[in-house]
Amino acid sequence: MLQTVVLIALGSGLGSIARFGVAHFLTPRINTGFPIATFLVNITGSFVLGCVVALAGERVNTLSAEWRYFLAIGFCGGFTTFSTLSLELFTMLQEGRFGEAFGYIAASVILGVMSIGAGLGLVYWLNKALKA
């Protein structure tokens, strides 16, 4: 168990560093106002997670559990959580659960954006209340 936790932590750290590196490299070079770094990280992370799932799945089964934890939960989780959402959505679509898939993506995006606003609002409100 401890070994698994350490592998996930290492993968997560490397994924986070990689995400920072992509943003740090691309943002000053491609400054269009579109979040290209985030977009590329999300799409790339989804691709990597798809590869990991395939390598660990029944058809290929060449990836050990340790590597799966390190790459899927650790690296992809640190690099982007969008990759996990994409995998779950893909699975729903593959299983023909179209209504559930639509609800999941709509709720994820809408509630995610609303949660950002709620978090910002709460912090701004607390900051103002504490200064008064």
The Cα 63–Cα 94 span in angstroms is 23
The Cα 72–Cα 97 span in angstroms is 24
pLDDT at 28: 86
Is residue 60 in a domain?
yes
Q: What is the pLDDT averaged over residues 58-63?
A: 84
pLDDT at 22: 93
pLDDT at 32: 82
69 and 117 both lie in a single domain: no
51 SS3 class: helix
Type of residue found at 65: A
64 and 109 both lie in a single domain: no
71 and 126 both lie in a single domain: no
Domain, as residue range, for 7: 2-81
Burial class (CB in 10 A: 0-12, 13-18, 19+), 80: buried
